[in-house]
Chains A and B, each alone.
Chain A
């Protein structure tokens, strides 16, 4: 700040009538530093700028200092917009000075204008420039002046509409046109860019002759020696072509467009890549081109019919067949960007002319073999647009290459190809069949794309009624021939073919009587997969009803179980869903009891899958029940496994350790089910308790000499059961055995036989006990900071559902390889009711390791108070076993030093 003060001192003297402060280069650079420094005070800035402005006329003798002063002012303008106007008005007088001065002024003006908000910039220029000035500057002999005034004009023309004009449209166009003949290529290019900008901005407002005039000039420049001029010229030809095509006028439009198109085509063989790209972009803009010329652009040989169109523009090369093979060269180009651009513009024209489309499809299909993926995608895009417009006429010779795309490496290409197939009209049955086969190959190679593939197959079948009927009949014959239970029908190809067959009956109710009935019944088990692919087209319920209606399966509408609508399972249906599932579970029990371990496991696994699918569409209330069942089935799976082990215990391969692991798992699964739900009915609670008794029995029989602890535990559970309701046969039997002091193990089988699975149908009105955990301000990209060895705080948002005030909840935090830390959650700190409690708190983590970064796993656990007491080694931890209530969250930490 001291420096600032010292400089301000002499500056203030400038306000005196005495001769102003003389800026030399050093003081100019100090002024620059002051103006650019963000912490300089407003007053200082104002006085610095003022003194600079006052000294400007005196500096005009020294061109170097003057241009430096101007550039300092120009640099400061964007930072302090309020000063722009005063700077501009004071440099106004200098603009007509020496060459160097005026070029410096112009460049200062340009940078001030560009830094302003859109409207201000051009209004500043409007205030200072007028027609005479612009014309005199534009005809200056100095390159710098010409280039800067041109750039100013290009800047202004981009904002033409929103500012006052200091030039009429006509003069503006004339000035630009003049510049297109400048000897400097960069000015020629800028002038063309300016014209393009003008045409785009004033699109509808311009007179018809302006684009024509520009076009004539641009055509004259497409042969320019400079690459950038050619690029700009080609762009302008395209733009003019586009505008002339849109405007209504009396001339022979097709002839005119043909000429423009041909002119651009002649640039398709330019040696510069940029020109070629621009040429193909421009070709896409020119519409209304005659078929003859378009066809010529696809053939290197000169075609017979000449374009008869007359042009209003005099062209020296118009007679030459420039268009010949332009597109061929484009799609064969060495550079993929050119090929891509050619491909896009080819697609644009193909949509507009059927004749052209028929020919160009050959080339677009051939591009499927291009080595660049983006070209292939562009070609696919063009083909898709053509298909959508109905001008894609595929032939057999294309299909090998096209269908090859379905097994392409790139998923985008495969997706693009399928999108086209959905709309494609195939001419022959053989092609149809090979397409279906190729889609099946796609499915076998990339099963993850099943939904998309099924949808394509469905659309294909829908669009080709006759063909799909044919395929359906073949399939029916095949089914008849094969014996029942043949596993070939489980293959994905079967499902795929079925989708083709049912597509047309399903979508239009046609072909229904002709389609073999057997196919509908075969399609029923695939309902889930088919309906997922047709999401948004058909409702699953509708699909099922349709399939059952047309199949030979006898059914009543009330059998339709479970009825699933997109809105979720209604409460009325819950009853039947539960009935259905609990019945299935009962079946599973009988399998387990019958020692059919493998069958039971298979059955349970499929049950699990069904549950997953159902829960996709289930309502919130239903999800709780379904969640319960999925946890219950997990328990059953474990029991079935353990039972298998016990059966094989007599054999030599008996590992006591694996039993323990399984039992441990079962125990924890049971704990989880007991503490994850609330609102039990008496029956269910009994059943769960009996299950835990069963676990004890397993443990009991495993231990060679059962401990008293075990016995006590068992007895306490039995007494608990007695308190709730009358004892089941199973419990009675255990009680008897304990009292008789006979070995439980010996009677394990008989014990299991009396175990009954009941009470599950009463699973209702259960509420889930769960917790949600949200870590505030942390992710793997932006970890929390910590000082190694010192406690670190984690801000958590905790939401608890259905917890009672007697529950003991803990926050479990662990770092890999270390003992966990528990933090007790005092429910009194939470807001809300029993249903939902919320709290945000800063939890300390004490044992931060001395490393650069680490992650903590955080979750909320509940203490299982009714479980047997076990002294945990943590001093400040839960005394009983725990079970998780929330999903585990990762919290990332990084040391302060490493930041």
Chain B
């Protein structure tokens, strides 16, 4: 028996996660993402490699586009009609993300859309929401279960089992908790196969506390000196985490400087967080009994007219990376003052202003022919990442101790290094196939054997030191379950009598 794994995306790359695993004759599609770097056919996994009707179910781990972006295309255009599973928060947030991206694609870039708004709605209507640790019986043989993965709100790791064959697909996960989400949480499962992400396959990250300390110090010093702080973020995730961090600090230090959230998606996103408290970290859940931690005490909505108001403040503005929109508008106004601070959390795509600021401090940024921005403000770079580091991956693999590991969602050379470590340190076979490759993972077949009462009694009574040795006879008959019986019972079943043959040696003294 074997599990057959077809890597449709995120094989030796980051983007368009999609793995189709055939386990015990059932085909499961894990994630159905798109690649943000392409706008042609390469953006989606190559669905022509499979027939959509073969798939037993599709399971989505979280709402990031590289994990869900191709789903409406697969269901509405390719015609997949089976069940789709995702967690409640993912189901709530995914349409927002999909529609947001579709709009940007069509309205801003003027590209042809791959699916329409109606497609998204129709697709989402088919989704069956699942809860953490809820076991879903997809059909007679196949059952799946979601485990908490950290990473983003509603992210899950998916466990699938058919008969004796078991596997886990992690999606993206985080092994260290942050201010608003917990760490990935899993049971001990004796797995045949573990498919894990490996974004940071070689990075070992240090404690997040020092990063938080630096960030708070920079922000505090800036506002204490009367400066303004701009934090360009995307609506979900980092914004909430940093806001909790600042709100706590403000509360503790009795700081009265206002924190603003730019209107738009962020306020709406906070609302989702408020509703989905059960999916956040333990601390948030604990404090929820007293007040909702997403009802930030020091946060107020921001209006355009407030950009040039005097006095210090902290502003979270969308989009991240200062790629345009409101954060760019504020940046233009605030960058020329050396009192102000721009704190950039996380990664920035090349070409954005965020990227320019991070790669060496420029004194002037040419926005277009007519607009020049003097950059005199301070820049603070934050490296908060919701992905686990290589230590985390190793810890998870060690904890689960599966028989095989497949690495996806990473860069090839780093994956090679990680594979090396997993094989040498943990002694577990590991692979990192490229896109559209198929891997066959052998599984061990275990057989259920019933034991007779006499045999069990013999087992418990025949004691020999610390070891227990029991003797029995394994009976395997056609059409019957295998059974282990004691010697007496066996004789009884076959109707034989016990014959003892004894040899007596007799030695004649004459023989000598």
Contact = CB atoms under 8 A, between A and B. Distances in A.
SS class, residues of chain B in contact with chain A: helix
Given A372-B283, A408-B252, A332 B425 contact: no
B391 A332 contact: no
A329 B216 CA distance: 21
Contact of B177 (A141, A301, A332, A407): A332
Contacts of A408: 252-253
A409 interface: yes
Given A178-B466, A335-B282, A366 B217 contact: no
B354 to A, nearest CB: 26
A139 B465 CA distance: 11
A334 B280 CA distance: 11
A410 B425 CA distance: 47
SS class, residues of chain A in contact with chain B: loop
Given A225-B188, A300-B205, A407-B254, A336 B283 contact: yes
Interface centre among A336, A369, A409 (most CB of B within 10 A): A369
Interface residues of B, number: 40
Interface in A179-218: 181
Interface in A266-293: 269-271
A363 B206 contact: no
Interface in A133-169: 139, 141
A369 B212 contact: yes
A432 to B, nearest CB: 19
A597 interface: no
A332 B209 contact: yes
B391 A271 contact: no
B187 interface: yes
A330 to B, nearest CB: 11
Could you say which interface size class chain A belongs to?
A: 35 or more
A311 to B, nearest CB: 19
Interface stretch (B8-16, B178-186, B355-363, B502-510): B178-186
Contacts of A409: 251-254
Interface in A333-372: 333-336, 362-363, 365-367, 369, 371-372
Contact of A334 (B182, B209, B210, B251): B182
B283 A332 contact: no
A333 B177 CA distance: 7
Contacts of A795: none
Given A269-B399, A401-B213, A141 B457 contact: yes
Interface string B96-123: 0000000000000000000000000000
Contact of B207 (A181, A331, A336, A371): A331
A141 B460 contact: yes
B364 interface: no
Contacts of A225: 188
Contacts of B389: 300
Given A334-B182, A366-B212, A400-B217, A269 B207 contact: no
A418 B375 CA distance: 41
Contacts of B183: 333-334
Interface in A686-727: none
A49 B425 CA distance: 66
A362 B212 CA distance: 13
A331 B282 contact: no
Interface in B456-493: 457, 460-461, 463, 466
B281 interface: yes
Interface centre among B209, B389, B395 (most CB of A within 10 A): B209
A181 B179 contact: no
B180 to A, nearest CB: 11
B217 A271 contact: no
Interface in B344-377: none
Contact of A328 (B179, B206, B248): B206
A818 B86 CA distance: 71
A400 B217 CA distance: 7
A611 B251 CA distance: 41
Given A139-B463, A225-B188, A271-B185, A334 B207 contact: no
A367 B283 CA distance: 15
A362 B207 CA distance: 10
Contact of A371 (B188, B283, B466): B283
Contact of B391 (A325, A333, A367, A369): A325
A447 to B, nearest CB: 15
A481 interface: no
A520 to B, nearest CB: 35
B254 A366 contact: no
Given A334-B283, A409-B254, A301 B204 contact: yes
A139 B460 CA distance: 8
Contacts of A819: none
B176 interface: yes
A404 interface: yes
B291 interface: no
A58 interface: no
B249 interface: yes
A366 B216 CA distance: 11
A234 interface: no
B256 to A, nearest CB: 12
A649 interface: no
Nearest to B147: A271
Nearest to A404: B253
Given A369-B249, A371-B283, A407-B253, A363 B177 contact: no
B187 A363 contact: no
Contacts of A401: 213, 216-217
A445 interface: yes
B208 A369 contact: no
B250 to A, nearest CB: 10
Nearest to B396: A269
Nearest to B177: A334
Given A141-B460, A335-B282, A328 B252 contact: no
A371 B248 contact: yes
A314 interface: no
B209 A300 contact: no
Interface in A391-416: 400-401, 404, 407-410
Nearest to A337: B282
A102 to B, nearest CB: 15
Given A271-B187, A408-B253, 8 more contacts: A320-B425, A331-B209, A334-B282, A336-B282, A366-B213, A401-B216, A401-B217, A408-B252
Interface of A: 139, 141, 178, 181, 225, 269-271, 300-301, 320, 324-325, 328-329, 331-336, 362-363, 365-367, 369, 371-372, 400-401, 404, 407-410, 445
Q: Which 7 A-B pairs have the closest CB atoms?
A: A366-B209, A141-B460, A334-B177, A334-B182, A269-B395, A300-B204, A300-B391
18 contacts: A141-B460, A141-B461, A271-B185, A271-B187, A300-B389, A324-B391, A332-B207, A333-B177, A362-B210, A363-B207, A365-B213, A366-B213, A371-B248, A372-B283, A400-B217, A408-B253, A409-B254, A410-B252
